[in-house]
Structure 1
Amino acid sequence: MDTIYALASARGKAGVAVVRISGPLAFWTVEKLSGSVPKQRYASLRSLKNAHGEIIDEALVICFEQGASFTGEQSAELQLHGSVAIVKSVLEELSNFEGLRLAEAGEFTRRALENERLDLAQVEGLADLIESETEAQRKQAMRILSGALGDKAAGWRTSLIRAAALIEATIDFADEEVPVDVSPEVLELLANVMLELEAEVSGVRISERIREGFEVAIVGPPNVGKSTLLNTLAGREAAITSEVAGTTRDVIEVRMELSGLPVTLLDTAGLRETTDVVETFGIARAKERANMADLRVILLLSKDDMPEIPPRDGDIVLIGKDDDGSESSLSVSGHTGQGIEKLVGLICERLSLLAAGASTATHERHRIAMTTALTTLESGRDQVLMGSERAELAAEDMRTAIRALDALVGRVDVENLLDEIFSSFCIGK
């Protein structure tokens, strides 16, 4: 296997730059650069020299023996002064060593997967952690990276192996008297796994929203203050405001963070009857995005008005453009800021309730694998209930469910996914 190296920290001038080396020649490389291999897992100050004996930099060197590193291989990290020239010189020196090559994007993490230091769900969690921008995203990614989903999958797998073994015992001893009816224990094992799978599947959509961002649509008739409200919440002029009805023709999106949650605010076209073709398209798109949004802030011109779209449970209905707050306690004004704090509090409260329903699983791939397992387990349960003559079919259903859960954590059938997953990683990770 090749020994790989790469800059693991961000490019450009910095206080410290980290170069990572992994593979069978990692310690040999450190010895070539610094003259000796320091004690493993201890930071040691070393002078790094080029092939001519000239000092490139004074660096901290940390070595990790095989089985104790991120990749599971013999590895080393060079903590350099973060000069562009120093990093360039070190990387050039490494490129001259026979048996070493520059790592590909995500190759360190891929080796961690291949060496069973991480499962596939943890790899996805690491990718999400790198991309996280809010506290909620960080916490969710850390939960996956820590192996929470893999631990659950291992528990489900153990239960299903036990259930399949019990069923297969009745097949093996079909011609003999089996002293105990195994179906009650098998049905209990299946019921427990199915219950947990159903809970996980139901929460995947919310988990995806935490990863990608909740959508909050601001909807209402023209000139009710939607664009002004968006600008106030965003803290900048994101949308054009005008007294001319129908100014907003398309959906305007603004990403922000509220109470640690990623949120995309949507300013939509004013909802009204119109003969303008372009505005008609804008209104249709506004209704479509509003129906897809996780939460709608519905603005009215007065308390006697009826909303243009039927409110859903959890929607926030307010009177807009109420500059002095005289119209109602449930009113808001983007112009004066009246009611803004209360509105933000309501949005955070509603989204936090939604976020509480998130599952450990976070990706559509997870949902598909768990749904496949759940469907086959429902079939397996039905086969068990039909009696011992359907035991072979029940056992096969359980084996199919086990394979689906194995795919969840990367045990089987995931080779076609790996290139896509690792393409999101930077070189050095």
Structure 2
Amino acid sequence: MDTIFALASAQGKAGVAVIRLSGPQAHEAAAVLAGPGLKGRGMHLRTLRAPDGERLDEGLVLTFQAPASFTGEDVAELQIHGSTAAVNAVLRCLSELDGVRMAEPGEFTRRALENGKMDLAQVEGLADLIDAETEAQRRQAQAVLAGELGQLAERWRKDLIRAASLLEAVIDFADEEVPTDVTPEVRSLVSGVMADLEREVAGVRIAERIRTGFEVAIVGPPNAGKSTLLNALAGREAAITSEYAGTTRDVIEVRMDLAGLPVTLLDTAGLRETSDHVEGLGIALARQRAESADLRVFLAETVDGLGIAFQDGDIHVLPKADLRDEAGNAISGQTGAGIDRLISQISCVLTERTTTSGIATRERHRQAMKKALTALGEGLGVLESGPDMYDIAAEELRTAIRALESLVGRIDVENLLDEIFASFCLGK
């Protein structure tokens, strides 16, 4: 096993930079630069020198001994001044040592997975935490990183192993009198797992939206003030505005943080009948994106006649409050009237939807749980046929167990690993 190293902190000038090493020679490699006497686990203030004695920098050297480290291997961290030149000098010296090489993207985390320090769901949670931009994303990623999904999967797995073992006991002793009918207990265990799985599957879409962001489309007729409203919400000139109808022809997207939730606002083309081919394409795209959005803000006198159905949770506001005697439910991107109220409405609708989110956050999770649900449904069906069908029921339970094991990376995920770890930086 090679010893790997990489810059674990961000690239560029900073107060402190962290260079991480992991592997069987991590402590020895650190000692080449920092001098002898590093403990298996400890912290040392040392002057770092190149093999020829040249002073590189002064910093802290932290050492961790396997298996009590992030990767489960011997680990050393060099905390030095965050000068680009200092970092490059230390990295260059490490690269010249025998048996030591630069880490590949995500290789530290991959070793943590391989050494049993994390399960695959936790690895995904770590990736989500690194990418988190809002409070809701941080909380969700922390739950997955803490192992909550793995704990759920393990609880389901134990219940299904218990159910399968009861069936197999009957099969193994088919020629003898079995004193207890195991069907009620098996049915109870399987039904309990199925109820949990159905709840988690239903919550994946919202959880995935928290991870990737909700889409909110602003729709309405031309010259209703959609682009002006988008600019007011974004706090910058994100969209071109003019008095001419049909100015917006493409969908303009602005990423925002609303009440801790990631939200992408979509400014769409004005919805009307047109003979202009290019504008027509923009209107078709506007309708398509609006229909697939999580929420629509109708900026119009009426929601009828726009060719887009008003759905549960959608918001209707009247345009150009600055030109009305009574503002009422009207809004104006020009003066800011009604902006705070609209933000509050959008936040309330989306926050309420997040109450149905589960711990599982990815389509991969949903597919694994659906596969388990299908197998468990089949198993319950044949269970009611009596002991003669217990062998088939037990096999269905084993299929469900394997699906849950793939959820946390125990089996059948090797083809996913390269794709997952490619999203990590070198130091992770």
State the TM-score, normalized to the length of structure 1: 0.97
Distance in 1 (alpha carbons) for counterparts of 2:143 and 2:78? 29
User: What is the identity, as a one-letter code, of the residue corresponding to 2:382?
Assistant: Q
RMSD between aligned alpha carbons?
1.4
Distance in 2 (alpha carbons) for counterparts of 1:101 and 1:2? 7
Distance in 1 (alpha carbons) for counterparts of 2:163 and 2:79? 51
What residue in structure 2 maps to residue 80 of structure 1? Answer: 80
What residue in structure 1 maps to residue 208 of structure 2? Answer: 208
Please list every run of 5 or more consecutive structure 2 residues that lacks an aligned counterpart in the other structure. none
Q: Deviations over 1:45-101 (max 9, x none)?
A: 012121122321111011000011100001110001111221111111111211111
State the TM-score, normalized to the length of structure 2: 0.97
What are the within-5 Å matches in structure 2 for residues 32-43 of structure 1?
Answer: 32-43=32-43
The number of aligned residues is 428
What are the within-5 Å matches in structure 2 for residues 138-153 of structure 1?
Answer: 138-153=138-153
Distance in 1 (alpha carbons) for counterparts of 2:37 and 2:361? 42
Distance in 1 (alpha carbons) for counterparts of 2:313 and 2:48? 61
What residue in structure 1 maps to residue 221 of structure 2? Answer: 221
Distance in 2 (alpha carbons) for counterparts of 1:248 and 1:58? 57
Distance in 2 (alpha carbons) for counterparts of 1:132 and 1:325? 41
| Mapped pair 1:177 → 2:177 | yes
What residue in structure 2 maps to residue 386 of structure 1? Answer: 385
What residue in structure 1 maps to residue 291 of structure 2? Answer: 291
Assess, with a 3 A threshold, how the Cα gap between structure 1 residues 140 and 304 changes in structure 2: closer, same or farther: closer
Q: What is the deviation of 1:305?
A: 6.7
User: What is the identity, as a one-letter code, of the residue corresponding to 1:17?
Assistant: A
Assess, with a 3 A threshold, how the Cα gap between structure 1 residues 259 and 41 changes in structure 2: closer, same or farther: farther
Select between 215-224 and 31-40 the one with higher mean Cα deviation: 31-40
Assess, with a 3 A threshold, how the Cα gap between structure 1 residues 326 and 307 changes in structure 2: closer, same or farther: farther
Distance in 1 (alpha carbons) for counterparts of 2:85 and 2:252? 44
Contact 2:256-2:262 within 8 A present in 1 as well: yes
Q: How many percent of aligned residue pairs carry the same amino acid? A: 62
User: What is the identity, as a one-letter code, of the residue corresponding to 2:420?
Assistant: I
Q: What is the deviation of 1:326?
A: 3.7
Contact 1:319-1:327 within 8 A present in 2 as well: no
Give the 4+ runs in structure 1 shifted more than 4 A. Answer: 303-308
Select between 58-67 and 7-16 the one with higher mean Cα deviation: 7-16
What secondary structure does 1:105 align onto?
coil
Q: What is the deviation of 1:37?
A: 3.6
Q: Deviations over 1:310-342 (max 9, x none)?
A: 311111011111216644522111111111110
User: What is the identity, as a one-letter code, of the residue corresponding to 1:391?
Assistant: Y
User: What is the identity, as a one-letter code, of the residue corresponding to 1:119?
Assistant: D
What residue in structure 2 maps to residue 341 of structure 1? Answer: 340
Contact 2:4-2:101 within 8 A present in 1 as well: yes
What are the within-5 Å matches in structure 2 for residues 149-164 of structure 1?
Answer: 149-164=149-164
| Mapped pair 1:239 → 2:239 | yes
User: What is the identity, as a one-letter code, of the residue corresponding to 2:171?
Assistant: I
Contact 1:187-1:381 within 8 A present in 2 as well: yes
What secondary structure does 1:224 align onto?
coil
Q: What is the deviation of 1:169?
A: 0.8
Distance in 1 (alpha carbons) for counterparts of 2:61 and 2:304? 70
What are the within-5 Å matches in structure 2 for residues 237-386 of structure 1?
Answer: 237-301=237-301, 308-323=307-322, 326-386=325-385
What secondary structure does 2:76 align onto?
strand
Contact 2:303-2:316 within 8 A present in 1 as well: no
What secondary structure does 2:45 align onto?
strand
Distance in 2 (alpha carbons) for counterparts of 1:224 and 1:88? 55
Distance in 2 (alpha carbons) for counterparts of 1:153 and 1:414? 16
